[in-house]
Chains A and B, each alone.
Chain A
Amino acid sequence: MSALIDYTLHLADNSLILGQRNGEWCGHGPILEQDIAITNISLDLIGQARSLYQYAAVLINDSELSVSSKASSPLERRFGGEVSEDSLAYLRTEREFKNCLLVEQSNGDWAQTILRQFLFSSYQYYLYQYLQTNTDTTIAAIAEKSLKEVSYHLRWSSEWVIRLGDGTGESHGRMLKAIDELWRYTGEFFIPADYEKELKIDGASLKYEWSKKIKTVFDEATLTVPPDIFMQEGGKQGRHTEQLGYILTELQYMQRAYPGCEW
């Protein structure tokens, strides 16, 4: 049970944090249509996060009811027994977030935001395809539902990678810089955390399709897939880059300053 809770939170955190990051573009996009596009993607991601947090809350509250040894996990103790989608998003600390490092990286310029979206959406696309047949029917249903939206994210970000990579000298150079900045965070997708191993979620099996997709789009964008380099990891286990702290400070401010406030 606890592996399923951790994994559900991991999926939810990926979506929430990337959604929050993309939301920073609201009102600042390079042109109106793309400002709307990136914030719509935020909305989809936060919607996915909500479904997943709601499910995680049910799992946590149920395991609380079943008493016994598990009942004193730090999460349940802190929330006094009743966990909700809101408490999971607003009241957990940095070390409790299980998102991949890539999604918390800063927006940088438009090229960096686009590349981050493309690297992540292509991963999420194959992951959700894979999860559609998961034995946990709720996870499978959320994956199936979200996959349609992710297909749009993938298409949109792929087109932008090509547009920028195969664009001007300036845009090409910025894509190269973005690859240099972000590539090191992609290895983590395919290194299973303990909770993934326990659930027999074989993320490594997605690497082939993912790499093929990246190569196809990069080829068309006149970009080169980097050689094997040292990959950062730890996000899935709660060991984050300094970026996450800043995101949570902003995201959680209201609930920390005015606990339980609604509007």
Chain B
Amino acid sequence: MVGSEEKEMKTSVIDKKALYAYLEEIKDPEIPVLSVVDMGIIRDIKLNDDELEVIITSTYTGCPAMDMIAANIRVELATLGFQKVKVTQSISPPWTTDWISEDGKRKLKEYGIAPPNPKQQVCNDKLFAADEAVQCPRCNSWHTHRISEFGSTACKALYQCNDCKEPFDYFKCH
């Protein structure tokens, strides 16, 4: 009897889809509308014997939220009854803003943060002139300018809309 219970436990453990749904509950501490799944930082979930391993990737190497996210994942899974949970950080291949889900990009915009532009526009070392066109998340105007390459967190730049005058964060391409 114990054996069959154990077996049932294990099959449910490998149900990744359900696990991803639970992980949807864990939000990025700095952008509380986005879950770690929306952010695209959950690389894989594995079962090693009786230990559940969640492999995550950091957005920016110095992102101070990563330790907190890892701790929150352990807490969330512990409350679901997983006794042994290991959170491993993986750096290769590196995370890019392309990994943010479409749903995540929509949520970002609703929250007032301009979502990252499609990749091809960006990430070059050209000066001044190479300012990206970024759409204002409030009035949708493209008539905006960059105030600072670095915003409230390492992953964001600070922009201002020339039309509605509202300053806003832009989740910079990475």
Residues of chain A whose beta carbon lies under 8 Å from any beta carbon of chain B: 33-34, 36-37, 40-41, 43-48, 50-51, 125, 137, 140-142, 144-146, 148-149, 151-152, 154-156, 158-159, 162, 217, 220
With A156-B149, A162-B128 already in contact, 15 other A-B pairs whose C-beta atoms are closer than 8 Å: A33-B148, A33-B158, A37-B148, A41-B150, A44-B61, A47-B60, A47-B62, A50-B62, A142-B61, A142-B91, A149-B61, A151-B124, A152-B149, A155-B130, A159-B128
Residues of chain B whose beta carbon lies under 8 Å from any beta carbon of chain A: 58, 60-64, 91-94, 123-128, 130, 147-154, 158, 172, 174
Q: Which of B63, B92, B149, B150 has the most chain A CB atoms inside 10 A of its CB?
A: B150
Question: Nearest Cβ in chain A — how far from B144, in angstroms?
Answer: 15
CB pairs A–B below 8 angstroms (21 shown) = A33-B147, A33-B148, A33-B150, A36-B150, A37-B149, A37-B150, A40-B150, A44-B62, A44-B154, A47-B60, A47-B63, A51-B61, A51-B91, A137-B92, A144-B93, A145-B92, A149-B62, A151-B124, A155-B127, A155-B130, A158-B125
- Contacts A40-B150, A47-B61, A151-B125 given; does A144 touch B92 at CB 8 Å: yes
Q: Which of A34, A43, A45 has the most chain B CB atoms inside 10 A of its CB?
A: A43
A33 to B167, CA, bound (A): 12
CB contacts (< 8 Å) of B130 on chain A: these are 155
A79 to B151, CA, bound (A): 39
- Contacts A37-B150, A137-B92 given; does A146 touch B125 at CB 8 Å: no
CB contacts (< 8 Å) of B172 on chain A: these are 152
A125 to B154, CA, bound (A): 18
Q: Which of B60, B61, B151, B152 has the most chain A CB atoms inside 10 A of its CB?
A: B61
Partner of A145, one of B91, B125, B154: B91
Contact B148 A36 (CB under 8 A): yes
Partner of A45, one of B62, B91, B125: B62
- Contacts A36-B148, A51-B91 given; does A44 touch B123 at CB 8 Å: no
CB contacts (< 8 Å) of A156 on chain B: these are 149-150
Q: Which of B62, B92, B93 has the most chain A CB atoms inside 10 A of its CB?
A: B62
A50 to B62, CA, bound (A): 8
Question: Nearest Cβ in chain A — how far from B56, in angstroms?
Answer: 14
CB contacts (< 8 Å) of B64 on chain A: these are 43
Question: Nearest Cβ in chain A — how far from B172, in angstroms?
Answer: 8
Contact B61 A50 (CB under 8 A): yes
CB contacts (< 8 Å) of B124 on chain A: these are 151
Minimum CB distance partner of A52 in chain B: B61
